[in-house]
Amino acid sequence: MKSVDIDKLRDQTAGAAAPTVTPPVASPEPAAPLEVGEFRLSDVPPGAALLVGTVAVFNSGGRLCATQANCTHRGGPLSEGGLDGSTVTCPWHGSQFNVCTGAVMRGPARDSLKTYRVSVKGDIGRVDTG
């Protein structure tokens, strides 16, 4: 059996960096399932739109507004239209609506959009359709 001089070994390793131990990485907790009408705020950054059931949710400069999902002219998908401030343009025929009031800003649509209240709790938004 080989003998080891502990004092000599201590002198040789003095000042040496301690070994790096990487702690285990905890896997992120799975996101809680969403209820009907709910969405994650991170899914609707400013200037974006998200389809939530039959409702389109818009983030107009940090203000969340919700309308019926389809244009009143010919049923175009408003969540796929361009959002400029609070105005969405229907991708099919160019009708424009204020996403917070539902008002028609430019035709060919003549009828306003139905709007819905949006509530926020933590990082979850909820469209109140009732």
pLDDT tens column, 43-59: 999 999 999 999 999 99
Mean residue pLDDT across the chain: 86
Q: In terms of pTM, does the model score above 0.85?
A: no
Q: Is 78 helix (H, G, I), strand (E, B) or coil?
A: helix
Higher per-residue confidence, 127 vs 130: 127
User: How far is Cα 48 from Cα 54, in angstroms, rounded to an integer?
Assistant: 17
Q: Which CATH class is domain 34-123?
A: mainly beta
Residue 72 near residue 50, CB atoms below 8 Å: no
| Residue among 99, 45, 48 nearest 71 (CA) | 99
Q: Is 64 exposed, middle or buried (0-12, 13-18, 19+ CB in 10 A)?
A: buried
Domain ranges of the chain: 34-123
53: region left, alpha or beta (phi > 0 left; psi from -120 to 50 alpha): left
Q: Which amino acid is at 54?
A: T
Distance (Å, whole) CA 93 – CA 72? 11
